[in-house]
Chains A and B, each alone.
Chain A
Amino acid sequence: QVQLQEAGPGVVKPSETLSLTCNVSGVPIYSYYWNWIRQPPGKGLEWIGNMFFGGSTKYNPSLESRVTIFGDTSKNQVSLNLTSVTAADTAVYYCAKSLSGSLESWGQGTRVTVSS
């Protein structure tokens, strides 16, 4: 049974870097694609990007200049860094596992507020 647990700072100051982690249990991260998706308050879903460990990463062009997704097999953990944040980056951030495109399993999400 795969479980995903996101963790983050809760509040980030404008212009700083947002760093989130997704702790994965039940499957090794090197076997699947790992995605980050976000949902601003009261709004819909936006795909941020994904990675396949030891392979490619794909990012949404709208965020590509600011985002990095990477993994740590020793911790079985996937991470997201988003630089130069603004209020528009305030959202619930989800990690999700995929293999053949579909987001099969999701974490419970972590809420991030950008505020000074």
Chain B
Amino acid sequence: DIVMTQSPLSLSVTPGEPASISCRSSQGLLHSNGYHYLDWYLQKPGQSPQLLIHLGSTRASGVPDRFSGGASGTDFTLKISRVEPEDVGVYYCMQTLQTPWTFGQGTKVDLK
């Protein structure tokens, strides 16, 4: 199985400030089509997860442009340019290059 490792596991941020979450895969997620098969999800308190970023860097429909995803080899990053109060929750990365699809442990983001 591909192991996904996130850091940090917990993050306190000041509204309006930037935030960054890292995710490392145990093997490359680059498909022959040139895309990284890496997604980012946000699970807000009491809700189901929602897709933020797919294929490494493509924002899902309706996702604000303060969210961005990047990839370098087996290292992936989710960046929030200016954290808003509604961004609190647990962020997960997930790989879908090969089954079983696997998630990172999650990064809990709250406000200072």
Interface residues of A (CB under 8 A from B): 44-47, 49, 58-62, 94, 98, 100-104, 106-109
Number of A-B contacts (CB under 8 A): 57
Whether B51 contacts A104 by the Cβ 8 Å rule is yes
Residue of A nearest to B99 (CB): A58
Whether B103 contacts A104 by the Cβ 8 Å rule is no
Which of A49, A60, A62, A101 is packed against the most chain B CB atoms within 10 Å? A101
Whether B37 contacts A106 by the Cβ 8 Å rule is no
Taking CB atoms, residues of chain A closer than 8 Å to B51 are 102-104
Those of B57-100 within 8 Å (CB) of chain A = 60, 92, 94, 96, 99-100
Task: For the complex formed, measure the closest distance between the CB of A42 and the CB atoms of chain B, giving whole angstroms.
Answer: 11
Taking CB atoms, residues of chain B closer than 8 Å to A107 are 48
Whether A44 contacts B54 by the Cβ 8 Å rule is no
Whether A102 contacts B100 by the Cβ 8 Å rule is no
Whether A103 contacts B41 by the Cβ 8 Å rule is yes
Whether B92 contacts A102 by the Cβ 8 Å rule is no
Taking CB atoms, residues of chain A closer than 8 Å to B50 are 106
Whether B105 contacts A44 by the Cβ 8 Å rule is yes
Task: For the complex formed, measure the closest distance between the CB of B21 and the CB atoms of chain A, giving whole angstroms.
Answer: 14
Bound Cα distance from A108 to B46, whole angstroms: 10
Taking CB atoms, residues of chain A closer than 8 Å to B55 are 100-102
Which among B37, B96, B103 is the interface contact of A46 at CB below 8 angstroms? B103
